[in-house]
Amino acid sequence: MDYKSSLIQDGNPMENLEKQLICPICLEMFTKPVVILPCQHNLCRKCANDIFQASNPYWTSRGSSVSMSGGRFRCPTCRHEVIMDRHGVYGLQRNLLVENIIDIYKQECSSRPLQKGSHPMCKEHEDEKINIYCLTCEMPTCSMCKVFGVHKACEVAPLQSVFQGQKTELNNCISMLVAGNDRVQTIITQLEESRRVTKENSHQVKEELSQKFDTLYVILDEKKSELLQRITQEQEEKLSFIEALIQQYQEQLDKSTKLVETAIQSLDEPGGATFLLISPSLSLCLPHSIVEASKGCQLGKTEQGFENMDCFTLDLEYIADALRAIDFGTDEEEEEFIEEDQEEEESTEGKEEGKKFIYLHCFIPSLIPQQEMPTMCKVLC
C-alpha cells in the first residue's frame, strides 16, 4: 500500500517507478537476471558478481573444476553481510517479480510517444539534440556545433560510446570502493577481536598477580605470628625464672626479719631471769640464721645480659630489597634469583646455628657441656 500510494502521489508515477528499478551499482535499470539478497535488496547478477569477485579475489570461477567454499560481500544499500555458498552469486534466488515489472515498464515506455524536452537540446542550436561528446572540451554537444560551431576543431566521439565508457568506469570505481570498504570492515572486526582478547588477558594476569601477592601476605602473617610466639615464650621463661628467685629471696628475708624482731624484743626485757630464759634459744638460732643469711646471697642470680632479647633481632633489609626488586621477567631470571637466594641462605645458616649455640650456653648452661665449647668457637671462627 505504501509503495502504491507513493506512486499515485507523485506527479509522474512512471519516473518514480523507474527510480525504484535502478541498480545501486550500475545506476541503470536492472538488467536481467535480477537477484534478491537475504536483506531483500535487489541487484543485477552481473553487478553482484563484480562486487563478489572484488571482495573475494581468490575465489575460483563457476566453471573451474576446483570446488571451493563460498565467500562473502556486503550489500551496497544497507551494508548487510551476505554469505555465499560454493555457487557464489549463482546460488542467489532470482527476483522474477522485479524482472516482470521491468518488462512491463519497458513496454509502456516504448508505446508512449516521446515528449518534447525529454532529450536534452543544444543551447546554441535549439532544434538540435545533443548527440555527440567533445573529447577536447569534455562536454556533450550537437552535430551542428561540430560542423559550424565552437567545436569545429575539436575531437568528438559518439555520445553513447562515451556514456557507456564512463558508466563502466564508474561501475569499476564503485566495485573497488565496496571491496575497499569490506577490507576495512574486516580489519575493524579483527581489531575489535584483538581489543577483546587484550582485555581478557589483562584481567587474567591481574587476577593471577593479586593471588600471588595475597599468598605472600598470608606467609608474612603466619611468620609474624610464629616469631611473636617465640618471643612471648622466651619472655615467659625468663619472667618465671626471675619470679622464682624473687620468691626465694623474699622467703629468706622474711625469716631473717622475724629473727631480728625476736632478738630486739629480748633486748627489751628488763629482768635478767627472763632474758636468760630466752637467750639460750636465741643463741642457738642466731648463728644458724646468720649462716643461712650469708648463704642467701648465693641462692641464684641472673647473669649479665639476661634481660636482653637481642637474639630475636631480625635483619630484613635483604628481604625488603628483594621485595622492592620484584618485577615482571622471564622464567630464566626467576631461576637465577632463586639460586642466588639459596646460596645466601646456605652461607648464613652456619652463622645462625652458632648464634643459637652461644645463646644456649650463656643462658642455659646445663644444656651444653663445657668440653664442647672450644670446638664450637673454632667452627664459628
- The domain that holds 138 is classified in CATH as 3.30.160.60
User: Do 248 and 273 reside in the same domain of the chain?
Assistant: yes
95 part of a folded domain: yes
User: Do 174 and 305 reside in the same domain of the chain?
Assistant: yes
User: Do 214 and 149 reside in the same domain of the chain?
Assistant: no
Residue where a domain stops, chosen among 122, 154, 186? 154
User: Do 142 and 246 reside in the same domain of the chain?
Assistant: no
User: Do 184 and 303 reside in the same domain of the chain?
Assistant: yes
pLDDT at 332: 60
255 part of a folded domain: yes
User: Do 95 and 175 reside in the same domain of the chain?
Assistant: no
First-to-last CA distance in the chain?
Answer: 109
User: Do 198 and 272 reside in the same domain of the chain?
Assistant: yes
Amino acid identity at 111: S
Which residue segment(s) compose the domain that 268 sits in? 166-309
User: Do 177 and 283 reside in the same domain of the chain?
Assistant: yes
305 part of a folded domain: yes
User: Do 138 and 209 reside in the same domain of the chain?
Assistant: no
User: Do 256 and 200 reside in the same domain of the chain?
Assistant: yes
Q: How many domains does the chain have?
A: 3
pLDDT at 206: 95
Residue where a domain stops, chosen among 309, 338, 364? 309
Residue where a domain stops, chosen among 309, 329, 359? 309
36 part of a folded domain: yes
173 part of a folded domain: yes
User: Do 269 and 191 reside in the same domain of the chain?
Assistant: yes
User: Do 81 and 207 reside in the same domain of the chain?
Assistant: no
Question: What tens digit of pLDDT does each residue of 177-212 get?
Answer: 999 999 999 999 999 999 999 999 999 999 999 999
172 part of a folded domain: yes
pLDDT at 120: 82
pLDDT at 271: 65
Q: Give the domain CATH number at 101.
A: 3.30.40.10
190 part of a folded domain: yes
195 part of a folded domain: yes
Instruction: Determine the Cα–Cα distance for residues 340 and 338; give it in Å rounded to an integer.
Output: 5
Per-chain mean pLDDT for the chain? 77
Task: State which residues of the chain have pLDDT below 50.
Answer: 1-10, 63-67, 114, 116-117, 356-381
